[in-house]
A and B are shown apart, each in its own frame.
Chain A
Amino acid sequence: MYAQMVKATGKGVKTREQMDENERHFQDRIDNDIKIEAKDWMPEGYRKTLKRQISQHAHSEIVGQLPEGNWITRAPTLERKTILLAKVQDEAGHGLYLYCAAETLGISRDEMTEQLLSGKAKYSSIFNYPTLTWADMGAIGWLVDGAAIMNQVPLQYCSYGPYARAMVRICKEESFHQRQGFDIMNVLAKGSEAQKAMAQDALNRWWWPALMMFGPSDADSVHSAQSFAWNIKQNSNDELRQKFVDQTVPQAEFLGLNVPDSDLKWNDKKNGYDFGAINWDEFFAVIAGDGPCNKERLGARQKAWNDGAWFREALIVNAEKRAACKQAAE
């Protein structure tokens, strides 16, 4: 997911008896679906976990510009170019909303950026894979935005007001992105032999990394239990992954493409698909920095930040000069 393996702090969920009065009041609000706002009292653990979760989500949007940005200058038609450019611009906007939401918890955007650039903060594993053909623009929209929607839709109803409201705006755009990605795939799948092969190759390369986006099984994790109790996580990773597979396999069939999993088959009993084992070694390697593009992605963000330092500094200095002039004139 865009926020993978966020570990809630705390040592397991407290019982009502173990809670102090503030904590009980806080938990009551959550249980009654009353949003927590920035100025409200909240447990330190809640604040810390959310900071981590929202900033990781924001970083994913920002780094997520890069794999698709890679194809804007090469889009095959002007219409596709504008759609892709607008999509990547949306992702930057998502990053902005989310940084703002995280700032309400008492961390600045610059601090979060430092954490990203130093490698301390993570972003979604999926953006460390390369975009090699135009079909990857279709596969990303269809699969990656599609997977993101799976957990972002419930997050619209999460307990923290600023995060929930950011999600409402984001979800609307994400479903556009998914449809646009599917449309790219659809055109390719109905196109020439070369185009079909391009689409199939993209599905082959993106399918498993997309399933990994949901993160390893966390049904029994203490951290998840706490996040569930705080209503900042609503479904287990496996639940969301299953939902994604069940939704996506028929779409692949519609496209006439093969999902690259020989173990994939419909299971009547569970009313869902069984699918093959995920290569978690690969996932942990990517998370640890050893994916195909980790160096390039972080390198690009570091370069943008370092090269832009003079620009940001100059705007600050200019604003100070203007303020001083205004003061002198008064």
Chain B
Amino acid sequence: MSAQSQKNLQQYVLRLADNALIIGQRLSEWCGHAPALEEDIATANTALDLIGQARNWFAYASELDTDGRSEDQLALLRDERDYLNVLLVEQPNGDYGNTLMRQFIFDIWHFYLLEGLTRSADATISAIAEKSIKEVNYHVSRSSDLIIRLGNGTEESHGKLQEALNNLWRYSGELTLSDALDDEMLALGIGADLSGVERKFQAAITRGFHEASLVAPKIGYMQRGGKTGVHSESMGRLLAEMQVMQRSHPNLTW
């Protein structure tokens, strides 16, 4: 593999790693504060799955790293502009309805993305995708179920979910928007076909919203930038918190 293609492959893997890590980090903020004990447990479970998946992706990204950085150095010591997650996952939790809506949109997309990656020509990627998709399948059924129940619950719960959807939908476009790196990885048989992911994502999410009695708002312009490291303002604070130990005590064992 040429140095450039190895770097590109690593960038692609880091996108996957960062998505799982950052949404896992956000979910873990709920620990001890969820609306019911069962939700505390379930949210921690999802966060654990996703951070576990992130670790697998980071381990591979570390193998591909020409500077020999470890899993933790990659996960916890890059500058903000080098994080490549989509904007959706870094959005602040808001209320529990907002968190669930963010999760629902993410889970459905994540599932179809991983489904594509199980067919990757890169054996490590397909193996990690294969392993992850079982967990994500469960995430989808959990978040769909809750969205449908809350959408058809009280007027208040319906209102909260609709508001969350209005707030978050503008981050959905980036999920399936291909750029040069996606195209290159697709051409090599490594990456997922995002146009195929988009078709399935749209069909499933439209069905979900319909069942939940929710309507996706019309968005004039979908937000984008996370995949190339241009994030929302809240990302800096998320990283400041997540990185504080590694930044203030570098090069130690914990």
Q: Contact residues of A with B, CB < 8 Å? A: 62, 65-66, 69, 72-82, 85-86, 88-89, 92-93, 95-96, 99, 109, 134, 184, 187-188, 191-192, 194-195, 300, 303-305, 307-315, 317-319, 321
Contact = CB atoms under 8 A, between A and B. Distances in A.
Interface string B3-38: 000000000000000000100010011011111111
Contact of A93 (B31, B41, B96, B253): B41
A2 B242 CA distance: 31
A313 B25 contact: no
B48 A89 contact: yes
Given A73-B29, A99-B37, A85 B245 contact: no
Contact of B44 (A66, A73, A89, A184): A89
A317 B153 contact: yes
Given A73-B25, A92-B40, A307-B35, A195 B252 contact: yes
A19 B246 CA distance: 65
Contact of B153 (A82, A89, A300, A318): A318
A77 B34 contact: no
For chain B, the bracket of interface size reads: 35 or more
B72 A78 contact: yes
Nearest to A74: B244
Contacts of B58: 78
B143 to A, nearest CB: 14
A65 to B, nearest CB: 4
Contact of A95 (B35, B37, B95, B160): B37
B95 to A, nearest CB: 7
B44 A78 contact: no
B97 interface: yes
A176 B48 CA distance: 17
Given A65-B31, A195-B249, A88 B44 contact: yes
Given A73-B242, A308-B35, A318-B149, 17 more contacts: A72-B29, A75-B245, A86-B48, A89-B40, A92-B40, A184-B254, A187-B253, A188-B254, A192-B249, A307-B96, A309-B35, A310-B154, A311-B39, A312-B35, A314-B153, A315-B149, A318-B152
B232 interface: no
B234 to A, nearest CB: 13
Interface of B: 21, 25, 28-29, 31-41, 44-45, 47-48, 51-52, 54-55, 58, 71-72, 75-76, 95-97, 149-150, 152-154, 156-157, 160, 241-242, 244-246, 249, 252-254
Given A99-B37, A134-B254, A315-B153, A76 B32 contact: no
Contacts of B41: 89, 92-93, 96
Given A310-B156, A311-B36, A315-B149, A194 B249 contact: yes
A89 B152 CA distance: 29
A203 to B, nearest CB: 17
A72 B149 contact: no
A312 B31 CA distance: 17
Contacts of B150: 311, 314-315, 318
Contacts of B48: 82, 85-86, 89
Contact of A78 (B39, B45, B76, B244): B76
Given A73-B241, A315-B149, A318-B149, A78 B54 contact: yes
B245 A76 contact: yes
A89 B52 CA distance: 15
A303 to B, nearest CB: 7
Contacts of A76: 72, 76, 245-246, 249, 252, 254
Contacts of A310: 97, 154, 156-157, 160
B152 A321 contact: yes
Contacts of B21: 78
Contacts of B25: 73
Find the residue from A73, A188, A307 having the highest chain B CB count within 10 A: A73
14 contacts: A73-B29, A76-B249, A79-B55, A80-B254, A81-B28, A85-B28, A89-B45, A191-B252, A300-B33, A308-B34, A308-B35, A313-B154, A313-B156, A318-B150
Contacts of A65: 31-32, 40
Nearest to B21: A78
B157 A311 contact: yes
A74 B242 contact: yes
A184 B21 CA distance: 22
A99 B41 CA distance: 14
Nearest to A303: B33
